[in-house]
Amino acid sequence: MPRGKFTNHKGRSRRFTNPEELEEERKREEQKKKWRQQQGVSSSEESDDEATGDKKISEESGSESDEESSDEDKKAKGVSNLIEIENPNRVQKKTKKVAALNAADLESKPQLSRREREEIEKQKAQAHYQKLHAEGKTEQARADLARLAIIKQQREEAKKRREVEQKEKENAAKEKTAQVKKALGKK
């Protein structure tokens, strides 16, 4: 098992760089940079730094001629300055005018994916079916209405039966009370 609090997935302990080591490394880099400047040797990093510095200065001045000259002064990497190659497969971004862009966007309908189109069609079909169902024009609606008619008829018959039974009970109760009164001799 690895020792220590911090371990990575490979089982080794982590190693953190000390701030003193970082400071020493920065000082060494500065010394190397000073030595190069004294010797007159320019590295690719320094030329990039100078090119970005030239760009910043030209942007601040705001003149277009300075920007064009700073682009020309940059060092090209590799053989790109010797051979001019145009890639036919490279897609170049074309600038569009805002007026043309807005008019084209308003005229064209948004392109929907297949799934989105199917979802919209499904919703329209469902709404159409619900409308027909409410009007009673679908097979299911007809079956439901027939079932409801049967249930209404059954309920009416049950209601009539209960009323008849209720009347019979009332008549039986009246007869019984009449018999009891007659037997007691009360009229």
Query: What is the spatial distance between Cα 126 and Cα 128, in angstroms, rounded to a whole number?
Result: 5
pLDDT digits 0-9 by tens, 8-45: 666 666 677 888 999 999 999 999 999 999 988 655 45
Q: What is the pTM of this model?
A: 0.32
Q: Which residue has the higher pLDDT, 7 or 64?
A: 7
Q: What is the mean pLDDT of residues 67-88?
A: 65
pLDDT digits 0-9 by tens, 85-111: 777 788 878 787 777 767 666 666 667
Q: What was the pLDDT predicted at 54?
A: 47
Q: What was the pLDDT predicted at 34?
A: 93
pLDDT digits 0-9 by tens, 121-172: 999 999 999 999 888 888 988 999 999 999 999 999 999 999 999 999 999 9
